[in-house]
Chain A
Amino acid sequence: MSETVITTNKLTKRFGDFVAVDEISFDVHKGEIFGFLGANGAGKTTAMRMLCGLSIPISGQATVAGFDVFTQPEEIKKNIGYMSQKFSLYEDLSVLENIEFYGGIYGLSNKEIKEKSKELTEKLGLYKEAKKLVRSLPLGWKQKLSFLVAIVHEPKIVFLDEPTGGVDPSMRREFWDLIYDAADKGITIFVTTHYLDEAEYCNRVTIMVDGKIEALDSPAGLREKFGVPTMDEVFYKLARAAKRSAD
């Protein structure tokens, strides 16, 4: 087994009486594409936010990139990238200006920013659009750019919160190509999704139901365990037991 980059042990988050995340424990390995599945309201986003340092857990332990989420959130922030559900680039800045800004706040030198800008626009084939405002790009392009910007500082781990929402299937495919590319470079991918076909692309998948982890294995392992042919059916089998209504 390779190096672990995320470990959690009985990690819990409560909002008043509501237990959003209930004692989840899992490990994520370096270079892995780790999928986090669950219905709306199952606690995926909360779990991810705790690992990113956006939200402080109530109890349990967790380390990200070797740093403790309770005591070393600043160290964690330097080692992770994050792409949120909402589109996360500045629409009124151009492609290059966005790269420059995010590179700048992650402390990249001007030279590095220049190289990265060249590399990214080449990768996306955005030569002509480099100076255009992000607002004018189609959604699929924006999402891809958003992902590349999230890893512009070459983090150890990148957290993607439902990155392909609203994107058409062919663009989603291209998006996943970028994810594989990043994983090949050794960047660990932690991705939440509710597209079950995307679950198949992950190395391992966790399914959360009502704040708890109900299953954790490779997609093939899960299908075998539940004796069903597709991830869809695995998911429905688990999700049907959910007591929380989706929001």
Chain B
Amino acid sequence: MKQLLSFVKKEFYQVFRDPKTLVMLFGLPVVQIVLFGFALTNEIKNANIVVVDNAKDIASQQIINKIEGSKFFTVQKTLMNSSEIDAAFKSGKIKLAVVFPANFNQDLLHLNKSSIQVIADASDPNTATTLTNYITTIVSDYQSQLSQNSAMPYTIQPEVRMLYNPDLRGAPNFVPGVMAMVLLLVCVMMTSVSIVREKELGTMEILLVSPVKPLLVIVSKAIPYLILSCVNLAAILLLSVYALDLPIKGSIVLLVAESTILIMTSLSLGLLISTITSSQQSAMFASMLGMMLPTMLLSGYMFPIENMPIVLQVISNIVPAKWYYIIVKAVMLKGLGFASIWKETVILIGMTLVFLVIALRNFKIRLE
């Protein structure tokens, strides 16, 4: 215990004396939140949507045909009620729902006016906007087609409703992304660099000759970064709640617990990197390539995964940030409970164990 305390204390001294580390730790989240506030627009193909046709008349049928004909959507026709639609959204199976009212064609013929409800999952605002724009275009296209054969203009009013993020703000989208990125970066890079530094400077040899157990070295390295990551997490959440006006809809406890799991994943990944690299530069480089790029590009946070080539979609599954991103969006933006994210949680824990086992095995070999 005394050993552990001395060790952790030393790690803290080192963290707070290294300006580079401090900038990374505390400058990064702020810079990221500012930088990634600018959202990117992308075209979405084959998005899963549901069409609820309560009218089942000629007009609704024609519009549905047009929607089905478009390359943008994969349409599923059902007769869901509103709570079923809600559930489909929460499970993430659908991106958008189109609902036709019961007397769609009648209204259109007799009142020259009718409406369609369009509901989109706006926790990803770019996708939501793009998809609703596609629908609106298809509908107005149909509308002008009708009007050609008639003296009176027909109006169909698509009533658009953005779920979870009614104002289509970018913040709800990038905050979970920044959280994933900062936690991963801090933990992976800092842990690997701090262990490799001991190797590079020769102090690791002294530690190995001392009665300190290797596991204690690892735990002592992990504790400071675990604490600092929690501070970081709190900072990001406070920033997002008070500066960006983004409420946490779900349970904070769950969010923190899930984040702790990601921190563990990152710490074990950092440890793994430290056992296969021997200089601080290469550890840093490995962390950058291994974490930063996949996290930015393949977690679904900057670019929608459903848009990528199959190969990248498959690769994205081994990026821890992807699963964490799904979890944070579900808890923070949709207010869902553990039941809906247990699969992602299991995947993250599984990854952690795999990294940890490989790292510990390599670490032991190093003692030889």
Q: Is there an interface contact between A107 and B205, defined as CB atoms closer than 8 Å? A: no
Q: Which of A19-27, A53-61, A211-219, A225-233 contacts B (4 or more CB under 8 A)?
A: A53-61
Known: A53-B209, A54-B209. A105 touches B368 (CB 8 A): no
Q: Is there an interface contact between B14 and A90, defined as CB atoms closer than 8 Å? A: yes
Known: A92-B17, A107-B2. A86 touches B205 (CB 8 A): yes
Nearest Cβ distance between residue B18 and chain A, in whole angstroms? 7
Interface residue? B109 (CB, 8 A): no
Q: Is there an interface contact between B5 and A77, defined as CB atoms closer than 8 Å? A: no
Q: Using an 8 Å CB-CB cutoff, how does the interface string of B203-217 with A read, 1 for contact, 0 for none?
A: 101111111100000
Interface residue? A80 (CB, 8 A): yes
Selected from A52, A93, A97, A133, the residue in CB contact (under 8 A) with B209 is A52
Interface residue? B10 (CB, 8 A): yes
Q: Is there an interface contact between B13 and A86, defined as CB atoms closer than 8 Å? A: no
Q: Is there an interface contact between B202 and A97, defined as CB atoms closer than 8 Å? A: no
Nearest Cβ distance between residue A195 and chain B, in whole angstroms? 20
CA distance A89 to B205 in the complex (A): 11
| Chain B residues within an 8 Å CB radius of A93 | 10, 13-14, 17
Give the nearest-CB partner of A146 in chain B. B206
| Chain A residues within an 8 Å CB radius of B206 | 82-84, 88, 102
Nearest Cβ distance between residue B217 and chain A, in whole angstroms? 9
Interface residue? B3 (CB, 8 A): yes
CA distance A133 to B13 in the complex (A): 11
Interface residue? B339 (CB, 8 A): no
Which of B209, B210, B368 counts the most A-chain CB atoms under 10 A from its CB? B209
Q: Is there an interface contact between B202 and A100, defined as CB atoms closer than 8 Å? A: no
Q: Is there an interface contact between B10 and A85, defined as CB atoms closer than 8 Å? A: no
Known: A77-B211, A84-B205. A92 touches B3 (CB 8 A): no
Selected from A89, A91, A100, A105, the residue in CB contact (under 8 A) with B211 is A105
Q: Which residues, 1 to 21 on B, are CB-close (under 8 Å) to A? A: 2-3, 5-7, 9-10, 13-14, 17-18
Nearest Cβ distance between residue B203 and chain A, in whole angstroms? 6
Q: Is there an interface contact between B7 and A105, defined as CB atoms closer than 8 Å? A: yes
Q: Using an 8 Å CB-CB cutoff, how does the interface string of B185-212 with A read, 1 for contact, 0 for none?
A: 0000000000000000111011111111
Known: A92-B17, A93-B14. A105 touches B209 (CB 8 A): no
Interface residue? B367 (CB, 8 A): yes
Q: Is there an interface contact between A86 and B202, defined as CB atoms closer than 8 Å? A: yes
Give the nearest-CB partner of B203 in chain A. A88
Q: Using an 8 Å CB-CB cutoff, how does the interface string of A58-90 with B read, 1 for contact, 0 for none?
A: 000000000000000010011010111111111
Q: Using an 8 Å CB-CB cutoff, how does the interface string of B163-176 with A read, 1 for contact, 0 for none?
A: 00000000000000
Q: Is there an interface contact between A107 and B202, defined as CB atoms closer than 8 Å? A: no
CA distance A100 to B9 in the complex (A): 10
Selected from B10, B210, B368, the residue in CB contact (under 8 A) with A97 is B10
| Chain B residues within an 8 Å CB radius of A88 | 202-203, 205-206
* B residues at A contact (CB < 8 Å): 2-3, 5-7, 9-10, 13-14, 17-18, 201-203, 205-212, 367-368
State the 4 A-B residue pairs at the shortest beta-carbon distance, nearest first: A104-B6, A86-B202, A82-B209, A77-B211
